[in-house]
Structure 1
Amino acid sequence: MSFQSTILIHPGLGNSGEGHWQTLWQEQYNLERIQQRDWETPIRTDWVQTLDEAVLRAGVSNVILVGHSLACVTIAYWAEHYQRPIKAALLVAPSDTEAASYPSGTTGFSPMPTVKLPFPSIVVRSTNDPYMTMERAQDMGEAWGSELITIPNAGHINVASGYGSWPAGLELLQQLDHL
């Protein structure tokens, strides 16, 4: 499989380790991974700046961002701040940084950004994600102007939830690639 667009993988907290679909896609399709300085105690302004630098290096207009968890929130903050006309974004299992259950250690990711994204996007949510309720994911998807895809009982759509290479996710990425 090859892509027409430049695909930038952006993991969330912990950097989507071995066996995670983001890591597998990166390795299998030679995709670029955005490298944040701090994967465990991130600061929003640092993550947004690093994301912007990666998008500018890649050429902006032909970029598709693939975010997981906290990276989805980062992408929304980045879009609000920079309004860059990228091609699209695949936002998988966004985490609710305002929830009482959200892990501590992040700085500046609350409140959740609610700006309409200036590019096409798909938000993929699970019916039992421990980091974002279905209702909250619906609210974020609507605020961001995203198409909303629901996967039953998929947890946080990560290795712990049984998601390795995730072919259905690749189909969504291909859909965005052909816009």
Structure 2
Amino acid sequence: MKMNKLFAGLLAVSLLAAGCNNSNSNSEGDSTETTASASTPAVNAVANPNLTNEQVMSNADAPVMTFTEMEHDFGDIKPGAVVKHTFTFKNTGKSPLIISNASATCGCTVPEWPKDPVAPGAEGKIDVQFDSHGKTGQQSKTITIEANTQPSTNQIAIKTNILPDMAANGPLRTQ
């Protein structure tokens, strides 16, 4: 058993060592370099700032979502209330803004967004509905908007305080 493990380990090390050989030779025995030089970028390279020292350049012509407000506070609401708010934004970029999706952190919050492109300089609206059924106390929900902007996601938020349900608890006594 130990012999099989030792053999497998030696085989793995041999294969790794053979795969790490940096020089290739042609049939005449001449050595040819197959790696790209530092000054020549690879054809299919992906610029990833987490892996390289490269800076990610932003697209100057990309659409930009500029909201009039990033968060809305509904204040105190009654239990079971359904409240709505409209977030207004303007495309302050140089190309049409296309929203591909908008989602909330909870199924109790439903966003509606424009399906047509928003032209540069034009305004758009995102309607958000919050259903407080089954919720109590302080609530905070984030809506993530995916669009052809840089960065590709934008976030807006709602918050509220759901008052105690007096009908379920009965009147409060003070002593």
- TM bin, normalised by shorter chain, reads under 0.3
Larger fraction in strand: 2
The TM-score with structure 1 as length reference comes to 0.23
Which of the pair has more CA radius of gyration?
2
Larger fraction in helix: 1
The TM-score with structure 2 as length reference comes to 0.23
